[in-house]
Structure 1
Amino acid sequence: MPRFQGNIPPIVTPLVEDDRLDDAGCERLLEHLIAGGVDGIFVLGSSGEIVSLSHQLRADFVRKTCRIVNRRVPVLVGITDNSVVETRRLARVAAEAGADAVVLTTPFYYPVNQRELKTFVHCVLQGTDLPLLLYNMPAMTKLWFEAETVAELAQIEQIVGVKDSSQDIDYFRKLVGLKSVRPDWTFLIGHETLLAESLHAGGTGGVNLGTNLFPHVFAKLMQAHRSGDDASVRDFQAKIDALAPIYKIADSSAPLLPLIGITKTALSIMGICSDRLAPPHQACTPEQRQELVKVIEQLKTTLDVED
């Protein structure tokens, strides 16, 4: 059995100032997720604005997350930095804080070929004993973990899985084919609209932004999947797809960041945490917030959410 599976939300990073965590918001968010039935926590992923945070704040957030979670569910930590030294440093922080695994995407800015990418992974592994998951996020890093590269890296016991946010389900199916050589591997899908399809293809869970808001819906889908209830899986996928009006309020001219902003605003409306984004990024407009209030009220009925 894979060690990490199910709903492992990529949590947002609650902030009250440019370089200070919203401490109360962090605790409310984590308790909200654990009460909602998540199977793990992924801190400092793309949804956590990792590249916009100072190294000190990243370390503080990892320590705080591990302390609040207190081993109730596994904690996975995103460690990627273009500097191998900084990547290893954050991996050490994760280990010392009690995290269960680290997650590594590709470096970015300078072009990197697949040979150099494998060297990057090997260099990082030399600096940590924690299990490591690969993270394919080409929309942000402009670089893929090509399927052949993943297959080669799968020979390394310390690497225990992959999270794919490419939105390419055929690529994901190729990755799942590695179960023949690594039956212990975790295969996680990043885009929530593909969650049910990815599980049907052999995936083991999801790292989905919407889980921040309505974790119980994602938990119920996973429960249905584990019990083999395909009809209920489809029903809960339809409820997850019903979150689309939230994302449509966001500015569609840029990828991902507006979705993080709209999710933070939704969390602030729900009384969970601040909607502040790391600079230079701006929170939602008052008009977007007003529209979002109406959508969330409608979704509470659609998704059977208690106040």
Structure 2
Amino acid sequence: MTNAATLSGVIPPVCTPLTPDHEVDTASLTRLVDHLLDGGVDGLFILGSSSEVAFLPDGHRRTVLDTVIGHVAGQVPVLAGVIDMTAPRVVDHVRVAVEAGANGLVATAPFYTRTHPAEIAIHFRTIAARSDVPVYAYDLPVSVHSKLSADLLLELADEGVLAGLKDSSGDEGGLREVLLRRRERDLSSFAVLTGSELTVDSALWMGADGVVPGLGNVDPHGYVRLYQAASRGDWDAARTEQERLFQLFQLVHVGGPHMGRSSSALGAFKAALYLRGVIAHPTTALPQIPLDADDIARVKDHLSKAALI
């Protein structure tokens, strides 16, 4: 992958299977990669939010990089998250990911520190200057507390700093603005990917290039069908598939009020993969609260209704 124009389609953010003692379960991870490739995905994104990157020590990150990139062996592009608080820390992750053979890097704005848009621009310029592969911005204001504006993103795209965007902001109007400004500035090589599982059909209709869906770990075939229907202009089929996936996505709420929303969602994805026989354990990283037996039983009900087990 040499430019953003090739980055499109379904690119799931790969979960990180863990053993009961919280080591990376590499056997399960390779099975998960095969499950996604068998589903027809167009690329993989490792070490993002669905990968529990914020919880993984550096050694675990390197194990994920080496396992996935080695197993994929060039079949599809592999994007690696280099997510950390500030540019000097991110640059360390850049070096490791590039050495491991990542085809592209994904970074958020700085976090913990309070930053100005001019400092966010310096952050991305610093990362890109240290990378021999394309850099993609990850717009995640719920965690980073900074919203990446269309003007900033496309200014950096025009400079050659950013190759694309993963938009997990939940701001559909903001996504449309990026797509409109991209067209106005003739920056068609700047890839725009939605991170929403629930509005993929509308994002593709607006002109987005693809989707990075956490639920795609559980049902990659469904998102591939959705993307293919949209690609051929069959919007009725795309909407039907999106509505089916919308119903399946309700499994993320099984944890209810006794754990955080992220713990519930990531736990549900892993429980679904465990129930489908893809990974050996549904373990989530500490200090997340694990799903209990009743929660997992509700995940199983959702999978049964979706005819996935």
Letter in 1 for 2:266: I
Distance 2:164 2:83 in 1: 16
- Give the superposition deviation at 1:296: 1.3
Matched with 2:306 is 299
Structure 1 position 255, deviation (Å) = 3.8
Match of 2:290 in 1: 283
- 2:268 — aligned with what? 262
Among 218, 222, 225, the alignment partner of 1:220 is 225
What residue in structure 1 maps to residue 196 of structure 2?
191
Quote how far apart the aligned CAs of 1:294 are: 2.1
In the TM superposition, residue 156 of structure 1 has moved relative to its aligned partner by 2.2
SS in 2 for 1:192: coil
Aligned-partner residue type, residue 289 of structure 2: Q
Worse-superposed segment, 153-162 or 204-213: 153-162
After the TM superposition, which of the residue ranges 87-96 and 214-223 deviates more from structure 2? 87-96
Instruction: Tell me the amino acid that sits aligned with residue 85 of structure 1.
Output: P
Q: Output the CA distance in 2 between the equivalents of 1:245 and 1:141.
A: 25
2:85 aligned with 1:82:
yes
Q: Distance in 1 between matches of 2:39 and 2:251?
A: 20
Which residue of the partner structure matches residue 28 of structure 1?
31
The correspondence for 1:168, drawn from 167, 171, 174, is 171
CA drift of 1:19 comes to 4.9
Cα shift readout 1:102-158 (whole Å, capped 9, x = no counterpart)? 011112112111111111111111211110111100011111112221122121224
User: What's the TM-score once normalised by structure 2's chain length?
Assistant: 0.93
* Structure 2 match to 1:230: 235
- 148-157 vs 184-193, which moves further: 148-157
1:208 paired with 2:213, answer yes
In the other structure, the counterpart of 1:51 is 54
Paired AA for residue 282 in structure 1? I
The equivalences for 1:133-152 within 5 A come to 133-152=136-155
Q: Distance in 2 between matches of 1:18 and 1:48?
A: 17
Counterpart among 234, 239, 248 of residue 244 in structure 2: 239
State the Cα distance separating 1:250 from its structure 2 match.
3.0
The whole-number CA distance in structure 2 between the counterparts of 1:255 and 1:285 is: 15
Letter in 2 for 1:206: V
Larger mean CA deviation between 83-92 and 93-102 belongs to 83-92
Gaps of 5+ in 1: none
Contact 1:15–1:22, Cα closer than 8 Å, also in 2:
yes
- Give runs of ≥4 in structure 1 deviating > 6 Å: none
Is the CA contact (8 Å cut-off) linking 2:254 and 2:298 kept in structure 1? yes
* Shift in CA distance, 255/221, structure 1 to aligned 2, threshold 3 Å: same
The alpha carbon displacement at 1:46 in A equals: 0.8
| C-alpha RMSD of matched pairs (Å) | 1.6
Aligned to 1:94: 97
Q: Is the 8 A contact 1:5 1:204 kept in 2?
A: yes
Uncovered stretches (5+) of structure 2, i.e. residues with no partner: none
- Contact 1:109-1:141 at 8 Å conserved across structures: yes
Aligned residues: 302
Counterpart CA distance in 2 for 1:281 and 1:3 is 36
* Residues 18-27 or 247-256, more deviating: 247-256
Secondary structure, in 3 states, of the residue corresponding to 2:288? coil
State which of 46, 62, 72 in structure 1 corresponds to 2:75.
Answer: 72
| Residue 282 of structure 1: how far off its partner (Å) | 2.2
C-alpha distance after superposition, 1:40-83 (max 9, x if no partner): 00001111111111011111111111011111111001101114
Indicate conservation of the 8 Å contact 1:19/1:57, yes or no.
no
Q: Secondary structure at the match of 2:305?
A: helix
In structure 2, distance between residues paired with 1:256 and 1:147: 27
